[in-house]
A and B are shown apart, each in its own frame.
Chain A
Amino acid sequence: MKAKVYVNLKAGVLDPQGKAIQHSVELLGFSGISDIRQGKYFEISLDGSLDQTNAQASVEKIAREVLSNPIIEDYRVEVEG
């Protein structure tokens, strides 16, 4: 079983890295882009000892307490069965 965690800066929190990437993308000639925000992606392998519900709860806790800073970031957890 695998869990995926996505961590993004909250809307409104400045993302200078995203802005710099967007600038480079535009310099390369790609058009039609209005914004790029950089986030983080984590893959967590689970050893199978937790059922789907408990795995979801456990990874949510990891995402909330370690992987993200709730002051500036939001997270989303997906547990694959």
Chain B
Amino acid sequence: MKFGVIVFPGSNCDHDAYHVISKHVGQPVDFIWHRDTDLSSYDAVIIPGGFSYGDYLRAGALARFSPVMTSVKKFADSGRFVLGICNGFQILCEAGLLPGALIRNRDLHFICEHVFVRVETSDSPFTNELKTGSVLRLPIAHAEGNYVCDDATLEELQREQRIVFRYCEPDGTVTQNSNLNGARDNIAGICSRERNVLGLMPHPERACEDLLGSSDGRDIFRSLAATLAAAV
């Protein structure tokens, strides 16, 4: 199995993602420059966090016009796996690979702290090694993480169990108090209808070593690796 980490001008979590795949997942991984278009040798691509194009216009808005994104769309349509983290989630929404949008945090602050998210479904290629209802401690670092969508989209996400992570208290209770950015229905991460595209605001790649305060993020990469191993 081979991973790719897409690099836009302004990506800044690309090395973290690369490190996690090479060190903790133990699989080959390449950086993919945003002008490259050949993804044929990859089984999964990660769109990392950062500030692609300086967040100009809207977070993720300009990255979606990079040449690589046309290939990412085809890659996703072919059933292969795409993981968008933070700015990557914003890009996936702007590109229409995931529904909804991410707007300014409710209280305007850039929020940079560890939060708790509840795994809402283990039925995804990114959470199949986790139990539904388990709680992960992951860092968030964003100014535009407030997930919005219309009523019909929310109903669809709920009905199809595509809300993968929700902000919660340490004991797993979903409360407004734990919803730091004001996201609709406490949404921290969602997947596509075919479940092969996941976007989330928290940074699992920054939570893979105890030294960094949490290693809960490993289970997400472990799940993806298990999915790929089973597919081979």
Contact = CB atoms under 8 A, between A and B. Distances in A.
Contacts of B57: 66-67
Given A69-B101, A71-B100, A14 B149 contact: no
A75 B96 CA distance: 19
B103 A13 contact: yes
B148 interface: yes
B contact face: mostly helix, strand, loop, or mixed: loop
Contact of A20 (B58, B61, B101, B108): B108
A16 interface: yes
B94 interface: yes
Interface size class of B (residues with CB under 8 A): 20 to 34
Contact of A13 (B61, B94, B148): B148
B103 A14 contact: yes
Most buried by A among B57, B100, B105: B57
B104 to A, nearest CB: 5
A16 B100 contact: no
Interface residues of A, number: 12
A58 interface: no
A44 B127 CA distance: 46
A69 B58 CA distance: 9
B58 A16 contact: no
A17 interface: yes
B146 interface: yes
Contacts of A69: 58, 61, 94, 101
Contacts of A17: 104, 108
A69 B64 CA distance: 12
Contacts of A13: 103, 148
A72 interface: yes
Interface in B129-146: 146
Given A20-B108, A69-B58, A14 B101 contact: no
Interface in B89-133: 93-94, 99-101, 103-108
Contacts of B150: 71
Contact of A71 (B104, B106, B148, B182): B148
A71 B101 contact: yes
B192 to A, nearest CB: 16
Given A16-B105, A16-B108, A72 B94 contact: no
Nearest to B184: A14
Contact of B148 (A20, A67, A72): A72
A69 B59 CA distance: 11
Contacts of B65: 66
24 contacts: A9-B103, A13-B103, A13-B148, A14-B103, A14-B104, A14-B148, A14-B182, A15-B104, A16-B104, A16-B105, A16-B106, A16-B107, A17-B104, A17-B108, A66-B57, A66-B61, A69-B61, A69-B94, A71-B93, A71-B99, A71-B101, A71-B148, A71-B149, A72-B101
Interface of A: 9, 13-17, 20, 66-67, 69, 71-72
